[in-house]
Structure formats: structure tokens, C-alpha cells
Chains A and B, each alone.
Chain A
Amino acid sequence: MYAFDYQRPSALDEAVALLRDLDEPKVLAGGQTLLPTLKQRLAQPGSLVDLSRIPGLSGIERRGEGLFIGAMARHAQVATSPLVQEVIPALAELAGMIGDPAVRNRGTLGGSIANNDPTADYPAACLGLGASIVTNARTLVADDFFTGLFETALGEDELVVGVEFPAPARAGYAKFRNPASRYAMAGAFVAQMADGVRVAITGAGQGGVFRWAEAEEALHADFRPESIAELTLDASDIMSDLHGSADYRAQLVKVMTLRALVAALR
């Protein structure tokens, strides 16, 4: 690792001020993506700004019908939270499928969505539930937050504070894991919301997480596996790499969507 300075602010506005004033700062949350990146010398920040000692960033609470989950909530905390298991069980299940137990003990919701890895799990839940991302400056709907591969709408000195998840009538998540990395080769989050059905796909899109409009329409008309049995996903915008071709992934997406639907109907 290259050398860097380390800052551990104890308040949110202090963190924002550090991000504005320091030379080449980088936020440190759980470190489960950032530290592997630094170990490989793929980044050279001047300072790390550690969010872990800012009080109030890791709560999980009811917000209206849905939930508000703080940016620093660890994956293990979300996976085992009785409140999440009650209000959005699919979200607790998704958090429990991320990486392995040690990764889940450190990795955070905010870090996962700020990183927006095209094969990460949480972006699918945010987009699939139509969540709102709350930052220190504004609130963004998930459709506007995830803007491309490892890209989000976050500004340079903007921090994710938490995410508001509306409660679905029914929801399910299914993921085909890459057995080596444990990230998704394809993952589908299917949710029946008050205003329609949402289907968010991760692991497959060349531009990162995306909504599968045809599947949403078909399931909105009838929330049953038969509704999407005849659909095929157009593979022209699907990733192709050593783990799988675009056509293979497009097929996997469909299978995962069916499995997520079956999970939602359980």
C-alpha cells in the first residue's frame, strides 16, 4: 500500500469538511472493497476519512411503512435484524448472501452502494425496491443514484448517510454466485410495490445494475412465473467476460428472475 494520512472525524459535518479541504481524500467505511484496492496499489489517496466513529450512522428504524437503514450498518447487522426480517425479509436475505461471514461483519450498506460494483448485491435491492438514497446534501431516488459502472451521482464531498426502503407487498432476491469471488454472476431483485412491479438486475449489465422493463410489465399484469416464461432478455448490453458470455448471462438473468419471483411468492 502507498502511504496515506488517516482521519477519524466524530461528526458528519466534520467529515464533509475534511473531504472538501484535504488533498485527495477517500472515505473509509468497512474497508472490504477499499482496502483490497489499496493493497493492490490500484488507488493512491492522500488521506482516508474513517466514518466508523460518527455516532448515529448505523441505525435501522421504521420510516412510515418502510425502513431507514444507516450507511454504516454492517451486512451482518442487516441480515440478522429482526426489524428487517419482519418488514423486508428479502433484504435481510440479500445481506446474508454477501461475501462470507467475516466480510459481512465489516462491510457496510453505504460502502456497497457508493462503490456501485456492477456485480454487487445491494444496488439491486435499492433499485428493485425504488429506495431513496439520503446524502448529507440531498435525497436521490435509486434510479438517479446509480449512473454506470462503479459510478454514482455522489459529488466529491458528498456522503451517503442512509437509505430509505419502502416496504414491498412481496419481494424476493436470487443470485447465482461466482464460486470464487462470491459476487453475483447474475442477481435479480423482484418486488411488488403499491404502484407496480420492479425487477432490478445486477451482475450482468455492461452499465451496472438496471431494470428489466419487459419483465416488470409482464409481472405487473400478472405476478406469476408463467408471465415471464416466454421472455428473453436482449443480450446486446450484457457483460461478457471469462466467467460467462453475454448470452449465457442473459439466460442466467431470466432464471434468477424466476427464482426471485418464486421466493417472493413463498
Chain B
Amino acid sequence: MTSISMTVNGRPISAEVEPRTLLVEFLRENLHLTGTHVGCDTSQCGACVVHLDGAAVKSCTMLAVQADGGAVTTIEGLAPAGRLHPMQEAFREHHGLQCGFCTPGMIMTAVDMVARLGTELDETTIRENLDGNLCRCTGYHNIVKAVAAGAHAMNPAALAAE
């Protein structure tokens, strides 16, 4: 067993884990943060995307020990309890989900996109940057609309007007 500590959604966590524990297993099974999903065995679907030190990573393709000392944000940590983050709100408003399985990964990827590329995103940019996120239901069209609207709503000017 190896000792690790990290912050998860702002909360300091320390634990003993087997080195082979994936970050996603640690989040779901040890911390009971089941918003992060596992959709594949091949690192391709993006259902497991979380942020590590502000960057989107596939938590199924990372060991918990590799996140030692880092700051992890999951879908549960995007907004205070009972409220929705502007990107979550946009997915609801624009029907960016059907079964919802891919949605946490889509939203974490979308928020990372805004951090890297700004709040005004065109369709091509959004589609390119959703390359690592698969959805079996929606056909992506409304996801792309939701990301554009959610990104725009994250503009500080839009937030201030709220």
C-alpha cells in the first residue's frame, strides 16, 4: 500500500491505496464520488474526465498515486450543492444529454476547453476538442450547442449580469 494525499473538490484527502488503483476507482469507490463514469476499457470514451491541477485528464488512465499532491476537481465539485455551473445549466437548457452517461465527462472537457480557448467557441473548435468524448445517444448536435452556450455564459461579463 502507498500513502497519498490530494485535494478533491477543495477538500484535503489522505488515504492508503494499492499502487494499481486507478484514479477513477479511488474517486468512485473510496470517496463515493460516482459522478465520474467509466464507459470503456480502452481510454477512448472520455466518460471519466476530471481536472487535475486545472487540466482535463482521463481518470481511468491515471493511477491514484500519480495524483498524489495534486488538486482534483470532479463534476460534483463544479458548483456548490444545490446549484448548477453555467455549463451544466447549458446542457439542461439545450438538451445536451439523453441517457446522461457521457455528460460528466463532456462537461468537464467543456469547462477545460473554456479555460484553454476562452468563452467564445465556434462549432469546429468545439467538435475538434470533443474528440476524446464519445456519446452513444445524442448525435452530438445538442452537445455542441450546449458547449457554445455554456462557454458564453462563463464569460465574466455574462456572470456579472446574472
Contact = CB atoms under 8 A, between A and B. Distances in A.
A99 B19 CA distance: 26
B152 interface: no
A8 B64 CA distance: 13
Given A99-B132, A105-B56, A6 B65 contact: yes
Given A3-B18, A6-B2, A76-B55, A101 B112 contact: yes
B135 interface: no
A106 interface: yes
A148 to B, nearest CB: 25
The CB with the most chain A CB atoms within 10 A, among B42, B58, B65, is that of B58
The size bracket of the interface on B is 20 to 34
Contact of B57 (A5, A36, A38, A102): A102
The size bracket of the interface on A is 20 to 34
Interface in A89-110: 99-103, 105-106
Given A5-B19, A36-B43, A106 B132 contact: no
Contact of B109 (A2, A3, A101, A106): A101
Interface of B is mostly: mixed
A101 B129 contact: yes
Contact of B46 (A1, A8, A32, A100): A100
Contact of B62 (A8, A106, A181): A106
A36 B55 contact: no
Interface in A1-56: 1-6, 8, 28, 31-32, 35-36, 38-40, 48, 50, 52
A170 interface: no
B41 A182 contact: no
Interface of B: 2, 18-20, 22, 41-44, 46, 49, 55-58, 60-63, 65-66, 109, 112-113, 116, 129, 131-133
| Nearest 10 pairs of A and B residues by beta carbon | A100-B132, A6-B19, A100-B131, A105-B55, A1-B20, A36-B43, A102-B56, A102-B58, A35-B61, A102-B132
9 contacts: A28-B66, A38-B20, A99-B131, A100-B131, A101-B131, A102-B57, A103-B58, A106-B57, A181-B44
